[in-house]
Amino acid sequence: MPIPTTSFGSTSFHLPRLGLGLAALGRPGYINLGHEQDLEANYDVAAMEQRTHEMLDLAFRQGVRYFDAARSYGKAEDFLLSWLQEHPEKAAEVAVGSKWGYTYTAGWKVEAEKHEVKEHTLPVLERQWALSRRLLPYLKLYQIHSATFSSGVLENAEVLTRLSELKAGGVLIGLSLSGPDQKEVLAAAMEIEIDGRRLFDAVQATFNVLEPAAGPRLQEAAGDGMGVIIKEALANGRLTAHNRSEAFAPKRKALESLAGKYGVGIDAIALAFVLHFPWAHLVLSGAATEEHLLANLRAGDVRLVEEEVEALSRLAMPAEAYWEERSGLAWN
């Protein structure tokens, strides 16, 4: 079944609702459960670039037209750029989003003292934009990576002014969110205007079966014309078959019951839960294998009824507990 499509907020884009994020494809280490097995512990740069190209090819064949990267995703932008250059006929049909604000510091290692360093300053924006702009004209959306109150980025006049200049040049401006105060940060971002116009065209946030707290605010943003992208819909692998923890077992059983009914995996059920909400314009798969991507995309075949959505909503964790558990996930 074709992936359902939707308008991306009040922008001119009309895209399939399932996209592919490259966080797990552009670097050896990531915090997804089972990441090492997914990559078969083969971290050779050429091999990882080939894997990324194969995943992009498969995603495109299956109808995916949005690809999401970031400067901190290792070589994700490089791998994506080489694919776009090799396939101009495909590139003409896709939209790319990327992010600035984190610098990759793992040195192509799975274990590192620091995998990425966050700095939301004008010099970092200028340095990273000079690299990200290579993705033009396919780069349609440039986002602040994990905007928070603590980084001060939403009060940094120099950064906000520069972002408005990029917006005037034709690139949509967005922000991604992370942590238990996602909805508060989004509310503040929605109030920011430059020369009488709202600065942010889009928001990317975590929303899933286990952590749905930002939902009402994201719905409000969509109603206000912002494009909404959902990341971590599978909770960094915690809503997949990789999660064998005893604590998750009761929730896994509930997911498996619906998966059996619809003939899909629990990952597709978790993604279908997010797709149920029309304000979730784009929902990202973070798959690193062709098998997992195909399984994720089966979510487009599932139409959950309200009673099932309500049952899944009861699996939610307290937001603070969710984010504390996420912070304890191991890079692998």
Q: What is the mean pLDDT of the chain?
A: 95
Q: How confident is the model at residue 92 (pLDDT cuts 50, 70, 90)?
A: very high
This prediction has a pTM of: 0.96
Give the residue, 211 or 332, on which the prediction is more confident. Answer: 211
**Which domains, and CATH codes, for the chain?**
14-327 (3.20.20.100)
- Looking only at the bridges linking them, the beta strands covering 66-68 and 18-21 are parallel
Q: Rounded mean pLDDT of 174-188?
A: 97
pLDDT in tens, 70-91: 999 999 999 999 999 999 999 9
Share of the chain above pLDDT 70, in %: 100
The alpha helices in 76-152, defined as continuous H runs, are: 76-86, 88-91, 122-132
What is the pLDDT confidence band of residue 323, given thresholds at 50, 70 and 90? very high
- pLDDT for 111 equals 81
pLDDT score of 330:
82
User: Using CA atoms, how far apart are residues 78 and 67, in angstroms rounded to an integer?
Assistant: 13
Q: pLDDT at residue 307 above 80?
A: yes
Q: How far is CA 63 from the centre of its chain?
A: 17
How confident is the model at residue 48, as a pLDDT? 95
Residues 173 and 163: beta-carbon distance below 8 Å:
yes
Residues 6+ apart with CB under 8 A from 192: 154, 160, 198, 199, 200
